[in-house]
Chain A
Amino acid sequence: MARIEVKSEITGTVWQLKAKPGDKVEGGDILIVIESMKMEIPVITEDGGTVKEILVKEKDPVAEGQVVAIIEE
């Protein structure tokens, strides 16, 4: 089973979690919304599968390129 790391494209803080472990997701789905520079920037999975882990919680700071979720295909 392929383990896919989903990264934040931008530095900011976690604003909303849109998915939780166990959720089935498809490519293009929003997992997390990051607030950055007054914008809501979605973290989108490119691949479908099952959410294995969400590695951040609301209000957590995240850095560009940080792995924020794990999907299993």
Chain B
Amino acid sequence: MTTMPLPLRHHLERQKTQQLIFILSVLIPVCAVFVAFMLYPMADGFYGSLTAWRAFRPGRAFIGLTNFENLFNDQAFLISLVNTFKYALFYLPGSVVLGLAAAVAIDASRRLRGLFRVTYFIPVVTSVIATSLIWNWLYQPNLGPINQILHLLGLPEQGFLRSVTQALPSVAVYALWKNLGYNMVLFSAGLSGISSSYFDAAKVDGANHWQVFRHITLPLLQPTMVFVVVTGVINTLQVFGPIYVMTGATVNDLPGGPANATMVVTLLQWLVAFKELRLGYGSAIAVVLFVIILAITLLQIRFLRQHWEY
């Protein structure tokens, strides 16, 4: 550096300052946005969960872990936890199996592959709220098309969203329909990333289709599998829109019915915070949800990695 002619050194220094100005003029506003709308609210929410915090009332007294103690004695909260996990169990296994099956089948369908891909992806690009509303109608008694079809086939009418036992599975079936194309495309990308030399080698060794699928395709799809399952869990544990739109028989019914059968954690948080105005208690629910999601994500990544390690 010392041997450089003076003008060039000046030039380089000027460039360095220019670059620094550029970096700062971008990073400072972006960081400010993140701090203002994510980090600060996060910290505020964590602290708020330790206080008696109510909307439209000044001040919030620190009450330690009282909100959390109350939470785990609160029947409504426990029901919402159970429902959330039930929903994930209704939805996830089916979504992985169907997504993988669709990917394998569509990849093998040759000339019609493009057509099928585009068709199966249609529900993915359309609005969650609009499609939930459409399925709400599909499930209706009397006028609902599914019950009309059952009627035409001479089968008994089903309650679907109006039935305590069927409501949650009905929402899960809607979610399966909505997201099948998304998982299909992810698995499809995973499949095309597998080198054909593995399949050739297996063929030489005389493996049958099931053996190839079980011992080659499945293990090599592991990264895709981890991603599909982890994001699937994160999304299902936070389900809100479809349940809000699909439950409640009349305008005046709050969502979550019938008889709390579809009351999930985010819905309860919304009710507690914005209908009952208990902001501290609502924050505590959010903290519990956050911890659960974090724990499950870390566990899953570890478990799935180990399980299919090559």
- Whether both chains belong to one complex is answered with no
The chain A residues found within 8 Å of chain B, CB to CB, are none
The chain B residues found within 8 Å of chain A, CB to CB, are none
